[in-house]
Structure 1
């Protein structure tokens, strides 16, 4: 199985945030940036399954500036086997529609069986990218999952609501998003950090 995990670099929530008044965009050079915690949790879901099935390939996918290389390397150090880094200056400040269209094109090219994302990024908080990806790809979707079980041909999860929980199942290929109820990502050890330097990280134009 091949699993794509969407990872995203965001401003550190514990740091200062500033708006570039000329562009209307967040000034990412104004403070520290980190790999979004919810995307690390999504990566952990993929790696947990890969630990049970050694034939599983886990690929980190991001659309971000070239300066985000350190965050891509962190995803590799945590355990992703490879990464696809979409770099295109014309995508700077892209809205949700263009972001979803671009990511979907990269996913089609990679032909994964499953795409895992966080449900909500800490910077944009749009929360619609998973559903938009599923629409572009024509795949099943299961969003806002608080528990996930992956098998060779389907994914099953639990979605929590105000009136209880709901069990959902999607046949692969599918797009799923997870919530912060899922476990924290494993911490990269020295071996993982050194191995990340040798893992492939493909920079790809849109």
Structure 2
């Protein structure tokens, strides 16, 4: 089911490269790109979603090219973890982003981790979801304040293209209900948007 790291889509010099466009066309209805710095647990999220440990995680993660991974109902793309690199904003990347079903931006503590990516997506009018990973590391009594901080940053940066915000722990997917909501959104294309504090946060893993 998974294709592992043996197959790599290399960013090429022309926007109309037939190999890249064919790859996207095959999975046009269900293809999701994951963007985020290497420390955010992006690859761990992908592994949990596909059910295999295929995406490289931890300190050894050195993704430099777009890596595709096959799930049961969708294909996931691990995007190199860059925010400031100018090559991240090339026409080749933008063309690839536009061909995806959805774009998921993974952060852990602040919107500032991917500010330039958010602004670019807004500028080219592409919608996206935000995954706040490692939420289990936030003390239970501080989670509401943490969510309010993220909300304030979103408003302060005037982010326009957000469809969903999910607070999750990829290492412990069952700890927070947003994980199942996220999976449901990816598989069923629902429009459920939740940014409210979950009472269950107080009840699980105290």
> What TM-score comes out, normalization by structure 1 length?
0.33
Question: Which structure's residues are more often strand, by fraction?
Answer: 1
Higher relative contact order (CA 8 A, sep 6+): 1
Question: Which structure's residues are more often helix, by fraction?
Answer: 2
